[in-house]
Amino acid sequence: MNHATHLSIAWAVALAVITLVEWNNLSRDPIGQEIFLPFISREISVNVMAAGASEPLEFSTKSAGDGGAAGGLQYEVEFFFNGPLFLAYFFGPVLFIQGAGLLAARINRG
């Protein structure tokens, strides 16, 4: 195995770990966490819960942890994983690293 293969394996492991860490962070705080990876997207919909006649609607949310239910709002969060974009981010650098390795080997040979 050459250096390009080692770098490709390191890139694959790093991308997998970064993706798993990002997904785990999003599962802990789905609304407040910023998404850094371009192949993970989030869709948030906010619904107003019906209040009784004696209690008015209050639109100030307390925290993301209670779903906003205390403030009369209900959050629905959906996450989407774009598989083809993930594969492009995975194989793009691997192909570049392997091509650079082949080019370096060819230059060194002669």
Predicted pLDDT at 68: 47
- The reported pLDDT for the residue numbered 57 is 53
User: Which tens digit of pLDDT belongs to each residue from 15-39?
Assistant: 999 999 999 998 888 888 899 999 9
Give the model confidence (pLDDT) of 61-108 as tens digits: 444 555 545 557 888 889 999 999 999 999 999 999 999 989 988 999
What pLDDT sits at residue 92? 94
User: For residues 76 and 44, is the Cβ–Cβ distance under 8 A?
Assistant: yes
